[in-house]
Amino acid sequence: MPAGGVGACITEVVNCRFHWLDMKLLAGFALLILSFRCMADPVRVRYIEGVTLGFLVLEDMGGKALAYGELNQVVSRKDGVVTDDLRFQFKDGSSYHEVTKFTQEDEFRLVSDHVVQKGAAFKQNSDILIEAATGTITIKTSKDGKEQVDSKHLDLPPDVCNGLLFTLVKNLDPAAAETTVTMVAPSTTPRLVKLTIVPAAGTTIGVGLMKHKAEHYIVRFKIGGVAGIVAHLVGKQPPDMHIWVVKSEAPTFVQSEGPLYEDGPVWRIRLTAPRQKATNGK
């Protein structure tokens, strides 16, 4: 027992308790500050999106073509809403269809994102609709011929980026060491995850004698809270995603590598060119 007997012991215990409370308060303030720092603003518009038709191929990491697709982009004259219509038709009969609507008044803001995936290429057939204004996520899944419909509400921040990654990367501040945005992890139990986008070493691409520098960005997924801890423990942390774009007066998506759906394999999406189909059997 310390000098001073029981009274000194009580004083020491009280001081330790207050010290513990001080540390707890400091930790709380630190977490609060970090949470404010993690709240990201939407990416500012540097390049206006417009009318586009692009042809795509989806491959495994060995270069085997699994699906072919296209991206149609149109802008409404009525309200200026941009609609991206992305489709992939798989060789095995599976299909992937994503329609993303957004605005581009100073900042990119999601209006809605609708993903429908069907067939053996996916773990299950699903139809997921995200409505940014209301924060409503509607999930339709089917198994053994039975359809199940669930709806959940999330308070969506203004930087939610579902369906917008390829567009946002083209508009990132070149001086930014990293950019943080938010995504709704589309699953039967949707949740918000943070995405950190950081620049990496670029590469040179070419078409014939024409050469361009492709900027490389790494997208890292961060699952917060207990789910994030569990994800690390069971090895379910999503792999990094890689995106390459050509930065110019008309920035262009070149290629990406990453999962197309939750817990999916890493696939490559890249630009391709259409070929004229043979006629008369030639």
What mean pLDDT comes out for the span 266-271?
97
pLDDT tens for 114-133 read 999 999 999 889 999 999 99
**28 and 155 together in one domain:** no
For the chain, the farthest-separated pair of C-alpha atoms sits apart, in whole angstroms, at 106
Written as six digits, the tokens of 269 are 């999406």
- Mean pLDDT, the chain, whole residue set: 83
pLDDT band at 248 (very low <50, low <70, confident <90, very high): confident
Q: Residue 172 domain-assigned?
A: yes
**17 and 69 together in one domain:** no
The whole-angstrom separation of Cα 131 and Cα 165 is 17
pLDDT tens for 87-117 read 999 999 999 999 999 999 999 999 999 999 9
pTM over 0.95: no
**22 and 75 together in one domain:** no
Q: Contact 218/200 with Cβ under 8 angstroms?
A: yes
Q: How many domains does the chain have?
A: 2
Written as six digits, the tokens of 85 are 């219509």
pLDDT tens for 22-60 read 444 444 444 443 443 344 678 999 999 999 999 999 999
**145 and 17 together in one domain:** no
Name the least confident of 43-57, 180-194, 254-268.
180-194
| Radius of gyration in angstroms for the set of CA atoms belonging to the chain, rounded to a whole number | 24
**60 and 156 together in one domain:** yes
What mean pLDDT comes out for the span 166-170?
96
**1 and 87 together in one domain:** no
Domain that includes residue 19, residue range: 1-36
What DSSP designation does 43 have?
Answer: P
Q: Residue 44 domain-assigned?
A: no
**81 and 111 together in one domain:** yes
The whole-angstrom separation of Cα 83 and Cα 86 is 10
